[in-house]
């Protein structure tokens, strides 16, 4: 069994094989505006998405928002 991910905005455009219809530029997974921004940790270290992911993880939101009431 194989797994993978497919983006609904990924298409081809004027010879470019990986084009983002949403952002109107070459696909760069995890860039600002991308549906993956801050959603997970990327192997490329200096991406803004990794910083956003770390900030989101650091908030440590409760699963029970009414806890303690």
What pLDDT shows up at residue 63?
A: 66
Which pLDDT tens digit goes with each residue over 10-38? 888 888 888 888 888 888 877 888 887 77
Higher pLDDT, 67 or 11: 11
The angle subtended at Cα 68 by Cα 64 and Cα 69, nearest 5°, is 100
For the chain, the structural domain boundaries read 8-35
Task: Give CA–CA dist 15/22, Å, rounded.
Answer: 17
Q: Mean of the per-residue pLDDT values for the chain?
A: 77
Where does the pLDDT of residue 62 fall: very low under 50, low under 70, confident under 90, or very high at 90 and above? low
38 to each of 13, 48, 50, 55, how far by Cα in Å? Answer: 26, 8, 6, 9
pTM over 0.75: no
């Amino acid at each position: 069994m194989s797994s993978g991910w497919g983006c609904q905005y990924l298409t081809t455009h004027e010879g470019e094989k990986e084009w983002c219809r949403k952002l109107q530029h070459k696909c760069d997974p995890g860039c600002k505006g991308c549906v993956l921004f801050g959603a997970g940790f990327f192997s490329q270290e200096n991406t803004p998405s990794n910083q956003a992911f770390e900030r989101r993880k650091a908030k440590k939101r409760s699963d029970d928002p009414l806890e303690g009431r």
